[in-house]
Structure 1
Amino acid sequence: MKTQIEQNGIVTLTEEEAKRLNGSELWNDDLRPTTFKEHSWKGLNFAALWIGMCLCIPSYTMASGMIALGMNWWQAVGTIFLGNVIVLIPILLNSHAGTKFGIPYPVFARLWFGDKGAHIPALARAIVAAGWFGINTWIGTGAIDTLLAASFSAWRNLPGHTAIVFVFFWALNVGVAYKGPEAIKRLSFIAAPVVGISSIILLVWAFTHSGGWGPILEQPSKFKTTGEFLKVFFPALTGVIGFWATLALNIPDFCRYAKSQKSQMVAQSFSLPITMTVFSFIGIAVTSATVVIFGQAIWDPVQLLAKFPPFVILLGAIVIVISSLTINIGANIVAPARAVENLYPKRITFGIGVLITGLFAILLQPWYIMSNFGNYIFGWLGTYAALLGPIDGIAIADYWLVRRKQLDLKELYEPNGRYNYATGFNKNGIYALVIGVVIPVLGLLIPGLRFLWDNAWTFGLFIAIGVYTYLMKGDKSVLREGEYEKITIIENTTYDVKRNLIETELTK
């Protein structure tokens, strides 16, 4: 029986099958596959999404941490560019699955871990997202607090004023997040041009008021040998990769709405690495100029904002708030909310998932993570990259190497289906995850193997790919030859239209 339709590379369930699965405990309106009509995001939407998410304060300050550790400006910018090109590869590979089958990340994870085991990678991603949610909320809090302190002298003396702002801004983020992915689509179109134009204005201001680019762009590297440089380069590169290793996993949450594979691939390929690299350079250039203008290097844009008149602070705070909202909703709310929702689809809503994410973000203490660059690059980015690398590897291996882009869509929503793996857990996925995490961790325990930890994401990813692919050989969950064609109605609208036009011309 045919249960799914493939049209121009996009697969959906038949109406009959969708109605039948509506009563499944693994199905709800947020987790179900998207319909053909819902595949409405064009390349411009994905470009706006990435530009909006990249133009955030952590991106602005990322290079500053590397310069503080001894790099010169072009070494820092080069590291950021390379890291984003590398992480773009798993992003595009996992985007294909979301676009083709219209499934969100927690459902995609059922393929590799089983319907119960999927909670492991989903919640791992959720914890990281909650941390980022807190970080960006804390950054937005600083901007608003600076505005109020500059505008009202009494505000600075009010006990707990920063905490008050944090609570209100946290509530704003949670409230907007209830709107879901479509809100991101609209917000990105606003944020991308507003934050982008503001960044250019800031760069022009810095150049004209400093009479040039300032001393930081002339500052040489502190490393005397290649070996000294590489000791910092590799963990910094891992940190850059880790910055978007989160989205490399749950990118299906957005690509499930893509109009076509080509549109999302082209848009993401250009917008992510270019935006991150250019914005990081702006951060370096502006900070370099502050040495000339103010006599000190001001890496934090919120602290730089405090140097301006109240009206400029107001405009700057609005831009930072928009930026923080965009990345929080786009990168840090959807994944954990979906993960929590997936725990009990029939009872837990997306809104409840958003609220739980917000509360957990507070428990992770974002003010401590951002207290110094060591916590940020080596502690936060490096540690979760070691966890997410193997999960990325398992996702890529399962979809591309084990199943070769073919799956039975309805079985992802069957409690006792082929992706249940009898117990609800795919032990092969768990084994691959454990091995992919443990081997890099040895680099923390054995000094001679430190290179494993410094490149934890990369080693974890390739180890997990190899282990998972080997363990899944001949697995019963994999469709046999010809089985995909038996369950799929394959239509090619573009081909059919061209064929009809040719036949019409030949009969004239």
Structure 2
Amino acid sequence: MAGLSALGWLAFLALWLLQAAVFWRGIESIKHFTEWAGPLIYVVMLALDLYLLQRVGFIHGLHAIKQSLSFTSVETSSRGAFSAFIMTITLTISYFSAPMLNFGDFARYAKNIKDIRRGNFWGLPVNFLAFTALTLSTIALTVPAFGVRITDPVETVSKTDNVTVIIIAILAFMIATAGINVVVNFVSASFDFSNLAPEKISWRAAGLLAAFLSVFITPWNLYNSPAAMHFTLDFLASLIGPFYGIIIADYFIVSDRSISVPDLYSLSPKGLYWYENGINRSTVLTLCLSASLANASGFLPILADFPGISWFVGCVAAILLYPWLSSENPETTQKAKYRS
């Protein structure tokens, strides 16, 4: 039904309920849950690598990893290598574009900017590179271990001979997935829906609304089709890029890095960010124009080799358009008054 078997629905609902339970307990509960859910996946992946090394032999395993990570046997043109490099960058940014946009939902709870920078350093480049190396090593070891390259760690675990190991690993993957989904999907969506009508929609109610809507998207169907997944990421990036560009342009150019925090949370028509009936027309127009340009870029032959480029197009377009449209809009003059 809807692309899932009865067992699939059971697994999906179990994970859905786990995520909802963690979210319902509040931000502190989410913080504590992710503090150990994240490292748990490292433990499982390291254990899986050690198991595969023991299965194929330490020396043979290291040779397989080295051979897999070597590009000397890959024949490609300079243009092809450059295209692949750019494609990897654009797809990675498209994938992480949503977390970049909702970063403020978590940075707001930091004690100071030093903690934010330290967390970003260890959590982004260091963690990303370390986990990428660990994942690539696991994939490389599946070739000598099972005779075929396996990219899904869950499938790799299923091929082990120990039922206890399989159960523990699947539970760990489930907990880690719940931790990621709560952070990336629940929290941001709950703030967004709640901000539409804060006096009527509570943070928890907004989160549950997002959870129920996620069922109708049937995300498993997207992941089952790489083409559909890439198209979805590219389309979302064409919308998220302009949002990101507007935020950057507004803070650094239009507002000159000046923000009235009390007015951010004010619903008064006299508030600095009320604009016209609560809507900033410059922002809406910039979003529409930038998103249109970003989507149109996907049809240009010259950009055919760069899927995911829509994020960059939308972001740059918004950064250029928003200051100009704001200068033509009398609603933004109150910001100038605030800066002065």
- TM-score (normalised: structure 1): 0.60
1:461 corresponds to? 315
1:387 corresponds to? 239
1:224 corresponds to? 76
Q: 1:116-195 residue pairs with structure 2 within 5 A?
A: 160-195=6-41
Take 2:183 and 2:210, find their aligned partners in 1: how far apart are those partners? 14
- How many residue pairs get aligned? The number is 326
Instruction: Report how far residue 221 of structure 1 moved.
Output: 6.4
1:302 corresponds to? 154
- What is the letter of the counterpart of residue 243 of structure 2? I
Take 1:481 and 1:181, find their aligned partners in 2: how far apart are those partners? 33
Percent identity of paired positions between Structure 1 and Structure 2: 24
Q: Secondary structure at the match of 1:253?
A: helix
- What is the letter of the counterpart of residue 172 of structure 1? L
Take 2:119 and 2:215, find their aligned partners in 1: how far apart are those partners? 34
Instruction: Report how far residue 367 of structure 1 moved.
Output: 1.5
Take 2:198 and 2:255, find their aligned partners in 1: how far apart are those partners? 26
Q: 1:65-84 residue pairs with structure 2 within 5 A?
A: none
1:335 corresponds to? 188
User: Quick check: 1:258 aligned with 2:107?
Assistant: no
User: Quick check: 1:429 aligned with 2:286?
Assistant: no
User: Quick check: 1:480 aligned with 2:332?
Assistant: no
8 Å CA contact 2:105, 2:187 repeated in 1: yes
- What is the letter of the counterpart of residue 233 of structure 1? F
RMSD: 2.4
Instruction: Report how far residue 471 of structure 1 moved.
Output: 2.1
Q: Secondary structure at the match of 1:212?
A: helix
Q: 1:197-216 residue pairs with structure 2 within 5 A?
A: 197-210=43-56, 211-213=60-62, 214=64, 215-216=67-68
8 Å CA contact 1:178, 1:350 repeated in 2: no
Take 1:443 and 1:330, find their aligned partners in 2: how far apart are those partners? 31
- What is the letter of the counterpart of residue 317 of structure 1? I
Instruction: Report how far residue 245 of structure 1 moved.
Output: 1.1
Take 2:293 and 2:339, find their aligned partners in 1: how far apart are those partners? 38
Take 1:161 and 1:451, find their aligned partners in 2: how far apart are those partners? 39
Instruction: Report how far residue 452 of structure 1 moved.
Output: 7.8
CA offset digits 1:110-169 (Å, max 9, x no partner): xxxxxxxxxxxxxxxxxxxxxxxxxxxx9xx9xxxxxxxxxxxxxxxxx72221222222
- What is the letter of the counterpart of residue 358 of structure 1? A
User: Quick check: 1:325 aligned with 2:178?
Assistant: yes
8 Å CA contact 1:336, 1:354 repeated in 2: yes
8 Å CA contact 2:15, 2:178 repeated in 1: no
User: Quick check: 1:287 aligned with 2:139?
Assistant: yes
8 Å CA contact 2:95, 2:233 repeated in 1: yes
2:272 corresponds to? 418
Instruction: Report how far residue 436 of structure 1 moved.
Output: 1.5
Q: Identify if the C-alpha distance between structure 1 residues 170 and 200 changes in structure 2 by more than 3 Å, giving closer, same or farther.
A: same
Take 2:302 and 2:171, find their aligned partners in 1: how far apart are those partners? 49
Gaps of 5+ in 1: 1-137, 142-158, 484-508
Q: Secondary structure at the match of 2:21?
A: helix
Instruction: Report how far residue 270 of structure 1 moved.
Output: 3.1
Q: Secondary structure at the match of 1:477?
A: helix
- What is the letter of the counterpart of residue 187 of structure 1? F
1:403 corresponds to? 255
8 Å CA contact 1:177, 1:329 repeated in 2: yes
- What is the letter of the counterpart of residue 199 of structure 2? K
8 Å CA contact 2:233, 2:308 repeated in 1: no
Bigger drift between 474-483 and 402-411 goes to 474-483
Q: Identify if the C-alpha distance between structure 1 residues 223 and 177 changes in structure 2 by more than 3 Å, giving closer, same or farther.
A: farther
Take 1:167 and 1:420, find their aligned partners in 2: how far apart are those partners? 41
Q: Secondary structure at the match of 1:480?
A: helix
8 Å CA contact 1:407, 1:479 repeated in 2: no
Q: Identify if the C-alpha distance between structure 1 residues 465 and 221 changes in structure 2 by more than 3 Å, giving closer, same or farther.
A: farther
Q: Identify if the C-alpha distance between structure 1 residues 454 and 240 changes in structure 2 by more than 3 Å, giving closer, same or farther.
A: closer
Larger relative contact order (CA 8 Å, sep ≥ 6): 1
Q: Secondary structure at the match of 2:19?
A: helix
Bigger drift between 399-408 and 245-254 goes to 399-408
Aligned residue among 71, 93, 100 for 1:248:
100
Instruction: Report how far residue 422 of structure 1 moved.
Output: 2.1
8 Å CA contact 1:337, 1:351 repeated in 2: yes
Q: Secondary structure at the match of 1:436?
A: helix
CA offset digits 1:441-480 (Å, max 9, x no partner): 2223342454786411112111111111222237223143
Aligned residue among 326, 350, 356 for 2:203:
350
Take 2:339 and 2:201, find their aligned partners in 1: how far apart are those partners? 38
8 Å CA contact 2:237, 2:310 repeated in 1: yes
User: Quick check: 1:196 aligned with 2:42?
Assistant: yes
Instruction: Report how far residue 272 of structure 1 moved.
Output: 0.7
Instruction: Report how far residue 218 of structure 1 moved.
Output: 4.4
Take 2:223 and 2:252, find their aligned partners in 1: how far apart are those partners? 37
Instruction: Report how far residue 301 of structure 1 moved.
Output: 1.0
